[in-house]
């Protein structure tokens, strides 16, 4: 809703210039047409201080207003920023912990982990009404975009990177979720349902996943990772340790080095290399 208001206000501010310009263009064309003998004819005219002031000050004021609006809302509506309220005049209750959902875009389905509940699902999620949700989003390969229009803005899912989105659903219901970034053949079926439910219904949904679900082991995941189109909803009652972390760090394959470990060892070697270079330069100067 806040994003919607932002778009409306920006549009109104820009129309303050656009509408008068369009009207004046038509008025000038009509008034100073060749057949109008009543119009003042001043071929030598080239300057008006009043006009200059209007032409420069009006857009300047609007740019200042748009700039201020953009500055404030960029920080306020940053998807990475945890929510500070669950609705207008509704602060987050004191002891509320956000629900963490780890979303993985695959070819061409969505895999969701609930780390605190120890479950995983394909193409379906649920969350209690009025409880802040913290999404952590990554991708197995293709860049996709995680989007539940009723919930919050879309945010990209990229391989080897984690993006974040903080959101809250205020009304119970079943909402559409999908990928808003073209990613190949099965992209148009990359849809999932988001259920906004009561806390009791959420608990029973988690129980349903635990009773009906399979085990998401590394072997099962290897099968799941293969491209497939229009997958049905699937539940996993248990999840192999560290699976999301390994997907994020691109080290699902046995024996492969995780990106975070690669980064650490790389920066370590880099530091040693720099020290060595510095030592060589020192020797070089000494020889000179």
Asked if residue 288 has pLDDT above 60, the reply is no
CA atoms within 13 A on the CB side of 222: 7
Three-state DSSP at 173 gives strand
- Enter the tokens of residue 207: 């129980």
Confidence of residue 234 (pLDDT cuts 50, 70, 90): very high
Write out the H or E segment, with its range, that includes residue 167.
strand 163-167
Confidence of residue 79 (pLDDT cuts 50, 70, 90): very high
pLDDT digits (tens, 9 = 90+) for 193-223: 999 999 999 999 999 999 999 999 999 999 9
Average pLDDT over residues 145-162: 92
Asked if residue 13 has pLDDT above 90, the reply is yes
CA gap 77, 85 in Å, rounded: 12
Confidence of residue 108 (pLDDT cuts 50, 70, 90): very high
CA gap 77, 10 in Å, rounded: 15
The per-residue pLDDT for 140 is: 94
Residues 6+ apart with CB under 8 A from 71: none
Kindly report the average pLDDT of the chain as a whole number. 90
CA gap 116, 100 in Å, rounded: 7
Confidence of residue 261 (pLDDT cuts 50, 70, 90): confident
CA gap 233, 225 in Å, rounded: 15
pTM of this prediction exceeds 0.85: no
What are the residue boundaries of the structural domains of the chain, listed by start?
A: 2-31+53-76, 90-261
CB of 157 within 8 A of CB of 105?
yes
The per-residue pLDDT for 41 is: 85
Asked if residue 113 has pLDDT above 60, the reply is yes
pLDDT digits (tens, 9 = 90+) for 130-152: 999 999 999 998 899 999 999 88
The residue among 220, 222, 215, 221 whose CA lies nearest residue 237 is 215
Asked if residue 232 has pLDDT above 80, the reply is yes
Q: Which of 28-37, 193-202, 252-261, 265-274 has the lowest mean pLDDT?
A: 265-274
Q: What is the dotted CATH code of the domain comprising 90-261?
A: 2.60.40.420
Confidence of residue 284 (pLDDT cuts 50, 70, 90): low
The per-residue pLDDT for 265 is: 76
**Residue 197: cis peptide before it, omega within 30 degrees of 0:** no
DSSP state of 256: P
- The DSSP-derived string for 74-132 is HHHT-TTSPPSEEETTEEPPTT--PEEEEEEE-SS-EEEEETTTTEEEESEEEEETT--
Q: Which spans in the chain are helix H?
A: 2-31, 49-76, 199-212, 218-224, 243-248, 259-287
């Amino acid at each position: 809703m806040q994003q919607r208001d932002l778009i409306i206000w920006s549009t109104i501010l820009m129309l303050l210039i656009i509408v008068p310009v369009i009207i004046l263009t038509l008025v000038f064309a009509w008034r100073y047409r060749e057949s109008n003998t009543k119009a003042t004819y001043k071929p030598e005219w080239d300057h008006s201080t009043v006009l200059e002031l209007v032409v420069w000050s009006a857009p300047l004021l609007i740019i200042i207003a748009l700039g201020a609006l953009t500055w404030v809302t960029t920080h306020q509506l940053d998807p990475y920023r945890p929510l500070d309220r669950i609705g207008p005049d509704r602060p987050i209750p004191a002891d509320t912990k956000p629900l963490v959902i780890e979303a993985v875009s695959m070819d061409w389905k969505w895999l969701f982990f609930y780390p605190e509940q120890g479950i995983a699902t394909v193409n379906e999620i649920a969350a209690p009404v009025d409880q802040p949700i913290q999404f952590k989003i990554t991708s197995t390969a293709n860049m996709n975009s995680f989007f539940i229009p009723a919930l919050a803005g879309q945010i990209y899912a990229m391989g080897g990177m984690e993006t974040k989105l903080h959101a809250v659903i205020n009304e119970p219901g079943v909402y559409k979720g999908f990928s808003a970034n073209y990613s190949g053949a099965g992209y148009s079926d990359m849809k999932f349902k988001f259920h906004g439910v009561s806390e009791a219904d959420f608990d029973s949904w988690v129980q349903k996943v635990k009773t009906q679900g399979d085990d998401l082991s590394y072997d099962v995941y290897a099968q799941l990772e293969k491209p497939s189109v229009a997958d049905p909803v699937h539940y996993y009652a248990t999840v192999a340790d560290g699976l999301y972390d390994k997907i994020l760090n691109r080290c699902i394959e046995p024996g492969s080095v995780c990106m975070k470990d690669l980064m650490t060892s790389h920066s370590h070697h880099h530091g040693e290399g720099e020290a060595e270079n510095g030592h060589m330069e020192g020797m070089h100067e000494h020889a000179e």
